[in-house]
Amino acid sequence: MKNKDLQQTIDRYNQRLDALGPTDQALGWTRENNQIRLKALVANFWEEIPQSSLLDAGCGFGDLLGILQKENKAPASYIGYDINPRLLEEAQKRYPEGTFLSAPLEEIPKQTQADFVCCSGVFNHKRSDGKEFESIKNALNHLFAICQKGLSVNFLSDKVEYKTDHNHNSNPGQLLEFAFSLTNHVVLRNDYMPFEFTLTLRKDVQIDRERLVFVKP
């Protein structure tokens, strides 16, 4: 992320925090449906979470961890990254058992490897240079290198009834094609909310060449 876009993003959330306090609305979620979004993000490895490490890229207030705890699916370890120190401060208050650090997606150290990496709402804003798809590809390449088992990311879809001037709407087909350049095991979900979708990419699933089916190691 360019420095200009980085600072604008930090400022955007600080202004919302000042106006709205530490709420879903301050994170840009204007409807009470963030729980649906976050549960869809981890649906494809739901049963594996308690035995796994989880990295939450763009963690906001750390609410993914909170949802997992309420569902008795808390991960074996959790680390959240965000670029906004004020969001991280609130996250640490809410979930003192989590580890929260500041870094842009592309600067999360690769040695911070985790079984699963999740990323929610990070790619929903337009960039000043208009290179949203290139930025998304670079970020997914980096995050997929960090994960040991799988990566799950959500997006605003361009299959919508309307668009705004500030939001970036991704093309599901374009991102699906890119996902297949990283792995054959890809799930695209667009069945939980009409104008958003989630991509889940598995790294650890292998192909049984004799039966031509996926198998976990």
DSSP 91-159: HHHH-TTSEEEE--GGGS-TTS-EEEEEE-STT-B--TTS-HHHHHHHHHHHHHHHEEEEEEEEEEBS-
Which residues, including other chains, have CB under 8 Å from residue 55's CB and lie 6 or more apart?
Answer: 78, 79, 80, 81, 108, 112, 114, 116, 117, 118, 146, 147
Mean pLDDT of 191-200: 96
What domains sit in the chain, N to C, each tagged with a CATH number?
3-215 (3.40.50.150)
Is residue 2 pLDDT above 70, yes or no?
A: no
Is residue 21 pLDDT above 90, yes or no?
A: no
Q: What is the dihedral of CA 6, 200, 39, 106, to 10 degrees?
A: -20
Is residue 90 pLDDT above 70, yes or no?
A: yes
Is residue 30 pLDDT above 90, yes or no?
A: no
Residue type, 143: L
Is residue 6 pLDDT above 90, yes or no?
A: no
